[in-house]
A and B are shown apart, each in its own frame.
Chain A
């Protein structure tokens, strides 16, 4: 844009488009009361009555003011692109042009607003998925429980089955182990009266871990069995895992993670992978919240009492895991935070128990453990 020397408030340098000069030439324009005077480069002066001059916005981005009128059967136009000159005219409207200037300012104002609203809408549309993502992240817990409340037990079981099928190929399931029967028996005692139909699996995995899939599939690693010194200790972990299923913690966690993943994919594009496969991967790094863990501990403890299994095993197992975590933390612990605090809590509950007698679980534990070690 060419700078125009500051003349009087009502004069400016504009580009004149006329039938003879279609690409425009710089001219000096003066607005005198009632008319517009153009000083053409050849020294000629052209006067147009303001009553015939039309003022409108035009040019790229409608940033120019265009004065147009007809003269000698041809269309003439002066384009004013200097914003300073525009400002001068606006602040001190020339006589005879006030009305047009006012409506021009109004139109400009309106156009600015329209543009602003348009851009805001656009930005909003672009940001919506991200905002949604943030919102979900923030309220993930609440939304997940709302969603899980709408899943029936049957659906959960079917979902769990699908997840398990997807996961199965990664697990080295031990079939026909002598441990299977004791495992199922203990499980049945711990899940008496449950709405879920439980399935119990043993896997050949040295990691000290067990996990529960929604719908009642509990998978116990051989490492965990080996680490336990009595059936009560294993039962303690089972009780804990069972409560994750009963309280739908794993379902909630999955829904939450999966929901977030889905929203993230929606926001960032490229949603790939089938649902169960996705869930299976989610399961691998599923982290329960501290509240969920404490909840599972407490309710697991209650179940043990109800099933007449000594909860001492649960506490000693947890202690064992905690000690083992000194060198390399067992997988079970890495996903279960704040062990110390939880053990302390369980121990205080254990101390609160009256000297109650529990029938020991009647399994030849060392022998059963032997069967695992190939």
Chain B
């Protein structure tokens, strides 16, 4: 299946957006609400399902849309088609601080397993499905839940991740342990599992939880330095609306000194 080949430019430092250049009649699919701007000539169309050619027939579309709901995406996808004559641009913005990762799907064997909700946009024809985690342990303690997203196709896909993105290639059999929740995406040849931290003392007090997520090569993986949930926790804890008065104002009783004392830690 021929995918639309698109040129792109990722702009911004820590809060990025991707600008996709569409040739005439080329199209890109975007996650609902991710579009930032589009040039004259680009038509927006909302379709049920993910717009991949695999989905023919109403039931298939319904099924595809249902799967999308599970992964936390919306039921509909938006397609941006360049109906103009020249090259036109459309841009998609990441919804939280972090980085946009372009993945050329053929480079990773045609399939990319990624964290749910991380999809930003793709060339039209990329299918978005779910990868259901069958290992109970990994599902419960791996930090990614049971539902992950599976992007398949021969085109470009963009996913976004929190903080700085670390891209690694694991050799066959090579194992990387990571904090749960830090996985963004991986090639389907990578084995994803969990591992007990090892010592009760560490499990309780190291702050890493009971389990590590483990990735076993071969294949390419993408990690994020700051999962959104972690940042959200910090923000909520620092808020003056936090329960238990966790938040404090800069001009509190002790002023800056108070800030020194508490070290601004959790």
Chain A residues with CB under 8 Å of chain B are 1-2, 15, 17, 19, 22-24, 26, 58-62, 64, 66, 68, 75-77, 79, 81, 115, 118-119, 122
Contact = CB atoms under 8 A, between A and B. Distances in A.
A23 B219 contact: yes
Interface stretch (B25-33, B69-77, B88-96, B169-177): B169-177
A66 B170 CA distance: 15
Interface string B30-56: 000000000000000000000000000
B136 A1 contact: no
Nearest to B217: A17
A66 B189 CA distance: 9
Given A60-B113, A60-B188, A68-B173, A119 B136 contact: yes
Given A1-B110, A23-B107, A59 B188 contact: yes
Interface of B: 107-111, 113, 131-136, 152, 169-173, 186-192, 216-220
A360 B133 CA distance: 81
A103 to B, nearest CB: 18
Nearest to B152: A1
A24 B191 contact: no
Given A58-B216, A77-B172, 16 more contacts: A15-B189, A17-B171, A17-B172, A58-B189, A59-B188, A60-B131, A60-B186, A61-B131, A61-B132, A61-B133, A79-B189, A79-B218, A81-B188, A81-B189, A115-B135, A119-B136
A62 B192 CA distance: 9
A2 B109 contact: yes
A58 B187 CA distance: 12
Contacts of A76: 172
Given A60-B191, A79-B189, A22 B109 contact: no
B172 A75 contact: yes
A77 B135 contact: no
A118 B108 CA distance: 31
Contacts of A15: 109, 189
Contacts of A24: 108-109, 187, 189, 218-219
B134 A61 contact: yes
A75 B170 CA distance: 11
Contacts of A19: 171
Nearest to A26: B109
**Nearest 10 Cβ contacts at the A-B interface:** A17-B218, A77-B172, A22-B169, A79-B189, A118-B136, A75-B172, A23-B220, A58-B191, A59-B189, A61-B134
10 contacts: A17-B219, A22-B170, A22-B218, A59-B188, A59-B190, A60-B186, A62-B191, A66-B172, A81-B111, A119-B136
Nearest to B140: A122
B109 A75 contact: no
Given A1-B110, A23-B108, A60 B190 contact: yes
A17 B220 contact: no
B93 to A, nearest CB: 28
B184 to A, nearest CB: 14
A68 B109 CA distance: 18
Nearest to A115: B134
B217 to A, nearest CB: 8
A23 B135 contact: no
A22 B169 CA distance: 6
B26 to A, nearest CB: 23
Nearest to B136: A118
B2 to A, nearest CB: 15
A73 to B, nearest CB: 12
Contacts of B189: 15, 17, 24, 58-59, 64, 66, 79, 81
A360 B172 CA distance: 101
A250 B133 CA distance: 51
A205 B112 CA distance: 72
Contacts of B187: 23-24
Contact of A68 (B172, B190, B191): B172
Contacts of B152: 1
B188 A64 contact: yes
A61 B173 contact: no
Contacts of B134: 61, 115
A92 to B, nearest CB: 25
A119 B133 CA distance: 12
B169 A60 contact: no
Contacts of A66: 172, 189
Nearest to A70: B172
Contacts of B186: 60
A2, A24, A75: residue with the most chain B Cβ atoms closer than 10 Å: A24
B155 to A, nearest CB: 14
Contact of B171 (A2, A22, A26): A22
A75 B219 contact: no
Contacts of A122: 136
A118 B146 CA distance: 14
Nearest to A57: B191
Contact of A60 (B173, B192, B218): B192
B173 to A, nearest CB: 6
A60, A62, A76, A79: residue with the most chain B Cβ atoms closer than 10 Å: A60
B238 to A, nearest CB: 29
A59 B192 CA distance: 7
Nearest to A116: B134
A24 B104 CA distance: 13
